[in-house]
A and B are shown apart, each in its own frame.
Chain A
Amino acid sequence: MNEEPFDRAELLRYFKDESDELLQQIDADLLRLEPLAATSRTDPETINSLFRALHTIKGSAGMLELGDVSTFAHKLENACDLVRNGRLPISSVLIEILFEGRDLLMALIRSGIEGTPSQNSAGFAERLETIVLRHSRSEGEEASQVASERATAVAGKARPRTIRVDIARLDVLLDLVGELVITKNRIAQITTMLTRGEATDPAKLVAELNTAAALLARTSTDLQEAVMHARMVRIAGVFERFPRVVRDLAKSRGKEIELTIEGAETDLDKTIVDEIGEPLMHLVRNCVDHGIESPKIRRESGKDPVGKIELRAAHEGNSVVVQIRDDGGGVDLARVKERGLALGLISADAEQTERELLELLFVPGFSTARSVSEISGRGVGMDVVRRAIGRLSGTLEVASRPGQGTTFTIRLPLTLAILGALLVRIAGELYAIPIDAVSESLRLDASEIARSESGESIVHRDRFLPVIRGAEFFEVGGRSESESVLIVVLRAANREVGLVVDEFVGDQEIVVKPLSELVGPVAGIAGGTILGDGSIALILDPSALISEVHRGPGSIVVSGAMHQR
């Protein structure tokens, strides 16, 4: 008996990656075709691309003996073929059913890969047939009912744990490994000479060893960078699904929205790209739902009835900035204030700055939406979004201008794998603080720390700075009673906290390792790292720490990943 030449599981994985990309592309193509429905124009290039994508899926599915998938893809392909030959005009009914077909195809592919029973597609096929047969130019109104379901389907993404790497990047890695081998040989040679007693000139040996060490240092730095690059993917993979989501949501909300995307080619660590989708989705939905006003209101306030949402990504120094901007009504600060007062989050006597009011949006359970919306309501609030971003060592800020719109700004590190850190000692243990979050370090007289009911603070640069003691925060030891204290000022999302530590140890590059799932997540700890001598330092999560302090102790929630529905 001959064995199967390929690992089926491997092929299925590959098919999944491939079809994910193609389905994205189909979405993009359909979106491009949609505006043509009202006209008599056509776009052969896009139709061809659509046809090819379906054809490829059909072929691959056939090879993998996923009969349902290939038959279904074939039907869609046929319809596109008719369009391609000019025998079927592009109508909104057609586009709508093709969108629906694309989603059914996705479901079929998924159940085919997972081996679960597939959805019945017969009803759909019949409707498709009717439309094709009729060759009709008539416009139907059956469009919007499927819109919101579909948005959910698009949002429910899969996360393949594979990555496609440009072969050139792999070649760089290979070259560097070559360098490593050369250095290793050199060191082996020196050791041999030493063992055999052939070392007549110790000074020369030392010099050679030094050269080897320097080479090793350089190569490992390059290697680190190359591996980091190999892990980077374009954020486009995440951005691509938004045109479709915004279109569907806008339709179901009776709004008209134009989405522009910029900087889709921005590179980011694969892990971040995988995790950022959900928080981004939430923010975009928020813009559609609460940001952009209805066309009627927009017209009344003299705005273009078509709302605009901008999604852009760009490199900024050592981080990536992702912005979601809408030109809607902005955050209603008066209502935020009202609600803040009602919830007892702010006091009526004090005057709050705009920033302080906006920060209230990130308090758990705070929502200003008049009604719990099907889309962005249901208790998944801004606090969850901020926390999800915080877990990626990123920050989330919001800015708003009344009548002109809201801007969410996410700042993310380029990579999660390696980061610069300040090492400190707290109650005998080493902790690493991401250097991006350190705004300065201070040595103060112990008497400068003032106590009040709400906790400890110092006056720093003419402002009150809340202070927490590392040992107490982490419940790992008593208070030290020395005369001077060391404080690291942590900064995230425009808020600062002073962290009292026992010792500054120094700064270095660290490799981030996750804490085992069997332990974590631990509030305030982002992971661990292994130092040069094999010992472990825990990595602080500054944004979690700051949120906890600003929210008051005990309120931080230790939760798993962000779940929506």
Chain B
Amino acid sequence: MTTTADRLQIVVFALQGNEFGIDIAQVREIDRLVPITRVPRVSAHVEGIINLRGQLVPIVDLRTRLGMPHAAPTKLARIIVAEIGTRSIGMIVDEVREVVRIPADQISKSEGVLEGLANEFIGALGKVDERLIILLDVEKVLGSEAPAVLTDKGNV
């Protein structure tokens, strides 16, 4: 995550009532939910693939990935398409709230804040006024460090 700048621009979204954020530099676009084609024999958190203007983009259910209970998406649900290197991957979130700027000194490394959450994916915590935003480490969540996890088969 780029913390070199004084302020970090963060896309804030909601999941299970908590506020999460990812670095805007990693976000390619935000889309409404579209029909998702299931792909057999991939791990449970891979929801399937979508057609993003001619490119096949895999979609991850962020709730499942972070160990939260599955919930049927509402009208507010969005797909955030993130970029890892040259590859794109979409994540389903409950709702996209806003883009905020967080001053670098309001970002702290912190561990074990949220019980029951897969803490290894948390990059840092950001504070905006009194709100606490959990900053996700996109690469860890979505894969390039652990592609093997994504190809786990047999637990669809």
Contacts and interface: CB of A to CB of B under 8 A. Distances in A.
Nearest to B144: A518
Contact of B87 (A474, A518, A530): A518
A516 to B, nearest CB: 5
B25 interface: no
Give the one of B49, B84, B142, B151 with max A CB within 10 A: B151
Contact of A518 (B35, B50, B89): B89
Contact of A476 (B38, B89, B144, B154): B38
A203 interface: no
Contacts of B54: 513, 530
Contacts of A520: 151
> Main secondary structure on chain B at its contact with chain A?
mixed
B39 A519 contact: yes
A390 to B, nearest CB: 16
B41 interface: yes
Contacts of A521: 151
A66 interface: no
Contact of B42 (A519, A536, A537): A519
Interface string B34-56: 01011111100010011100111
A561 to B, nearest CB: 13
B55 A558 contact: no
A536 B54 CA distance: 10
B58 A525 contact: no
A237 interface: no
A520 B58 CA distance: 10
A531 to B, nearest CB: 9
Contacts of B55: 513
A476 B41 CA distance: 9
Nearest to A473: B40
Interface string B131-151: 000000000001110010011
Interface in B45-93: 46, 49-51, 54-58, 84, 87-89
A517 B156 contact: no
A474 B89 CA distance: 23
A476 B156 CA distance: 8
A515 B39 CA distance: 10
A59 interface: no
Nearest to B37: A536
B49 A535 contact: no
A524 interface: yes
Contacts of B41: 474-475, 522-525, 558
B87 A525 contact: no
B49 A516 contact: yes
A516 B87 contact: yes
A524 B39 CA distance: 11
Contact of A516 (B38, B40, B56): B56
A356 interface: no
Nearest to B154: A475
A530 B35 CA distance: 13
A534 interface: yes
Interface in B96-114: none
B28 interface: no
Given A534-B51, A536-B50, A536-B51, A516 B37 contact: no
B32 interface: no
A89 interface: no
B153 A429 contact: no
A522 B38 contact: no
A528 interface: yes
A499 to B, nearest CB: 13
A227 to B, nearest CB: 15
B99 to A, nearest CB: 25
Contacts of A536: 37, 49-51, 56
Given A475-B41, A528-B37, A536-B37, A519 B49 contact: yes
Interface in A535-560: 535-538, 558
B151 A476 contact: no
A475 B156 CA distance: 7
A429 B37 contact: yes
A517 B148 CA distance: 11
A429 B38 contact: yes
A474 B153 CA distance: 11
Given A516-B49, A521-B151, A536-B51, A476 B56 contact: no
A516 B39 CA distance: 11
A514 interface: yes
A513 B153 contact: no
B33 to A, nearest CB: 15
Among all A-B residue pairs, the 6 with the closest Cβ atoms: A474-B40, A536-B37, A519-B58, A516-B58, A528-B56, A518-B143
Interface of A: 429, 474-476, 513-525, 528, 530, 534-538, 558
21 contacts: A474-B40, A474-B41, A475-B154, A476-B156, A513-B55, A513-B56, A516-B87, A516-B89, A517-B87, A517-B147, A518-B144, A519-B58, A522-B39, A522-B40, A522-B151, A523-B41, A523-B153, A530-B51, A536-B37, A537-B37, A538-B40
Interface of B: 35, 37-42, 46, 49-51, 54-58, 84, 87-89, 142-144, 147, 150-151, 153-154, 156
Given A475-B156, A518-B142, A528-B49, 19 more contacts: A475-B154, A513-B55, A515-B56, A516-B56, A516-B88, A517-B147, A518-B89, A518-B147, A519-B46, A519-B151, A522-B40, A522-B41, A523-B41, A528-B37, A530-B51, A534-B51, A535-B37, A538-B39, A558-B41
